[in-house]
Amino acid sequence: MIPLSPKRTQTMMAIHGWAGIPLALLLYVVLVTGMMAVFSKEIGDWSSASLGDAPAALDPGMSRSLVAAAATVDPRFHEAVAVYPVAGDRLWAFFHRHDVAPDGFVFAHGVGFEFDRRDGRIVERFEGVEDDINRAHEPRGLAKFLVDLHVSLHIPFPWGMLLTGAIGLALLVITISGLLVHRYLIRDLFTLRRRVPKLLSRDLHAVAGSWNLPFAVLLAFTGSYLSLFVPLGQPVIAQFGYGGEQTPMFELFEGAALAEDPTPAPMSDIDAMLIDARSRSGTSPDRVDILHWGRQDAAVLVSMSPDDRDLRPTRYVYSGANGAFVAQRPGLGKAPSAGGAANEFVGGLHFGRFAGVASKALWFSLAFCLAYVTLSGLLLWTQRRQATVLWRRFGHVTIWVGYGLPVALASIALAYFLARAAGVASYGWMLAAYFCAAVIAALTCWLASDPRQRLLAATASLLAALPLVRWLSGGPSWPQLVGSDLGMVIAVDLALLVGAAWALRASRRPLEMPEPAEPASTVDAPAAPG
Amino acid sequence: MSVPQTTATSTTVARRWARVILAGPLVLLCSLGIMGGANLWVPPGAGGVNDIVLPILLYPAVWTALFFYACFERRIGRGYAIVGGLTALHAIVFALRTSGWSA
């Protein structure tokens, strides 16, 4: 039992409710899209699977592709090169420089290439700001759209990330206040009154919320850090410590690998560096970053995937001019430090990237549970206030967002495949599908007698259609996939079909909610601030 | 009888607004000041990034702690003194820094 005076409990309950209500619907959107973001790599591979015998993107053989591409790029974009695999293990390289926007934020501007892994030729070339290029590169369109929805709700920088950061802080407040208002926390972990259907939904909210408290704190803490780092943390620190300039901080993050020497020099064989890095770490490379391409002080940073016992990737530095191994470096800074390690842990913990698909599946399930807690909390809150017109309308909005969002997300995927089949840019189609689905869901809530049932049925139909549409729009079929190393595409198809069956089953079950006059559970009922 | 009741109600409303201002904008300002100011008193460490990463990493914890403190401090005057004092302290550090002072 957590001892709190009745007045403090009432205040805490008011904080729990009123911190949640203004942002809870957005929190729900962030949680559901976060479930997708956990599997962003798999979604990219699923939506743009590329069949054919080819070496892995960062296998030896890419050096000549980079050298050929560099010759076609304006030398001012040789300041830095980022090389990494994208959707379907396509090889992507971005030659760029860092510019400072009028608002003081630093952004990357340059030329991006997709290479054919079989013969190294350039498949596509883009020039512009990094975010615009990534959006225009069709193979990762669907995964990027979903990740951007999670990270910034598609609101322009910096406002979107500030908003998701604020949502993270609100989740922290909701979680801590939720913990403190439990009169009997241990009992709440196990209380499910199955024989009283109208109390079951309240008990499920309390049980799911209680078990998820540690995970909610973890997500809220890491999420607000990741969202606020660039749009809030960097400018504030720059004001205090660096006269308002953010560029010096980037130099500290990179931890200057080699002494400055702008003398032109040809690049050494990067393939040989990748082979050496593999032999040192025993794992495979995740990405390669090259600083000062074509100069005597060129540095090649090879980031290796972490082994099974570590969350942090290993990073090796090589001289780009002579290919010599220079040092092992942390991901951030010039030497291992608490800050650098913490930064790497946070990313791995937030997205469940520490034990392959198993940890991602666990994170997906926990985030699903949290999304359920958020939605059921809102439904309980509005149900208790049905007598008030405003809360009754807010209850309709909750149904609209809660059950309309899965329809909208499935519609985005459908639009992506249809745009690809039509040979047009997918971003506009996905955005249009998202808003169209939102409008149709709103009309359903307005006109239908049981909008929840119809929206769940629509979700089931769309999810069931996606594997077929993926195949009909040019994706590989199951027989083609069976013999390849892309079995994961079949796994995602099956997961969608399971999701469709679950949504269909849920649509046929009525939602049992407590009457406003029902007796309270062991969790104090939400109350307006007194 | 009605005059004392009105006075009591208006006092309660004023106290509530005072707490809202303390837990809202003042706590936000104070936590931002602590994050920026920590860049000056957290050692950079061997990697040279601790003074940047750790203040930002701890920002959610600092804000949350100050928020709950502001909500539950019984003596609101003391709440203003502590939150205001922390803000003022870091404002002074910022002013000294911008005027050329270094630790």
Q: What is the pLDDT of residues B21-78, one digit of tens each?
A: 999 999 999 999 999 999 988 999 988 999 999 999 999 999 999 999 999 898 999 9
Sheet of A325-329, strands arranged across: A122-129, A106-115, A90-100, A80-86, A285-291, A299-304, A314-319, A325-329
ipTM for the complex shown: 0.89
pLDDT in tens, A316-374: 999 999 999 999 988 888 888 999 999 988 988 999 988 888 999 999 999 999 999 99
CB contact under 8 A, A241 and B51: yes
Which pLDDT band, with edges at 50, 70 and 90, does A527 fall under? very low
pLDDT at A209: 84
**Contact between chains at B94 and A241 (C-beta distance less than 8 A):** no
What is the mean predicted confidence (pLDDT) over A455-467? 98
Q: Chain B, 64-103: which have a CB under 8 Å from a chain A CB?
A: 64, 67-68, 71-72, 93-94, 97-98
Q: Is B24 at the interface with chain A, CB within 8 A?
A: no
Question: What's at B53, amino acid-wise?
Answer: V
User: Cβ of A225 and B56 within 8 Å?
Assistant: yes
Distance CA A84, CA A239 (A): 33
- Separation of alpha carbons A334 and A259, rounded Å: 13
Confidence at A312, pLDDT banded by 50, 70, 90: confident
pLDDT tens, position by position, A162-217? 999 999 999 999 888 888 877 677 777 777 776 666 667 778 888 888 888 899 99
Confidence (pLDDT) at A23? 84
Most B CBs within 10 A among A337, A345, A346, hence the mutation to make, goes to A337
- Pairing between strand A80-86 and A122-129? unpaired
Which residue did the predictor score with more confidence, A185 or A435? A435
Q: Which of A141, A493, A477, A212 is nearest to A369 (CA)?
A: A212
Instruction: Tell me: pLDDT of A524 over 70.
Output: no
3-state SS class at A266: coil
C-alpha distance from residue B94 to each of A164, A397, B51, B91 (Å) = 28, 45, 15, 5
pLDDT per position as a tens digit, A407-428? 999 999 999 999 999 999 999 9
3-state secondary structure A334-395: CCCCHHHHHHHHHHHHHCCCCCHHHHHHHHHHHHHHHHHHHHHHHHHHHHCCCCCHHHHHHH
Which pLDDT belongs to residue B53? 96
Residue-level pLDDT at A196: 67
Model confidence at A37, in pLDDT bands (50, 70, 90)? Answer: very high
Q: pLDDT category, A308, cuts 50, 70, 90?
A: low
pLDDT of the residue at A14: 83
Query: Across all residues in chain A, what is the average pLDDT?
Result: 88
How many helices and strands, by DSSP H and E, does chain A display?
Answer: 19, 8
Q: Report the pLDDT averaged over residues A296-302.
A: 94
Task: Please name the residue ranges forming H helices in A153-269.
Answer: 159-180, 185-188, 197-211, 213-228, 234-241, 247-254
What was the pLDDT predicted at A515?
A: 63
Amino acid A261: pLDDT = 92
A106 falls in which pLDDT band (50, 70, 90)?
Answer: confident
- Binary contact (B52, A172; C-beta < 8 A): no
Cβ contacts (< 8 Å) between A168 and chain B: which residues?
Answer: 60
Residue of A nearest to B64 (CA): A173
Find out whether A403 and A441 touch, Cβ atoms under 8 Å: yes
Say yes or no for a CB contact (<8 Å) between A339 and B59.
Answer: no
Task: Give the nearest chain A residue to B63 (CA atoms).
Answer: A169
A206 contacts A521 by C-beta, under 8 angstroms:
yes
Q: Which amino acid is at A56?
A: A
Q: Reply yes or no on whether the pLDDT at A526 is more than 50.
A: no
Query: What's the pLDDT band for A2 if we cut at 50, 70, 90?
Result: low
pTM: 0.89
Which residue among B40, B50, B72 places its CB closest to the CB of A339? B50
Q: For residue A301, list its beta bridge partners.
A: A289, A317
User: How many residue pairs from chains A and B have C-beta atoms closer than 8 A?
Assistant: 114
* Per-residue pLDDT, A482: 85
Does B41 touch chain A if contact means CB atoms closer than 8 Å? Answer: no
pLDDT at A160 over 90: yes
Q: List, for residues A487-520, the tens digit of each pLDDT value.
A: 889 999 999 999 999 999 999 988 766 665 444 4
> What residue in A sits closest to B46 (Cα-Cα)?
A335
pLDDT of residue A518: 46
- The answer, for B36 touching chain A at a CB cutoff of 8 Å, is yes
Please say whether the beta carbons of A89 and A110 come within 8 A: no
The two tokens of residue A122 are 């350039």
* Cβ-defined contact of B37 to A240 (cutoff 8 Å): yes
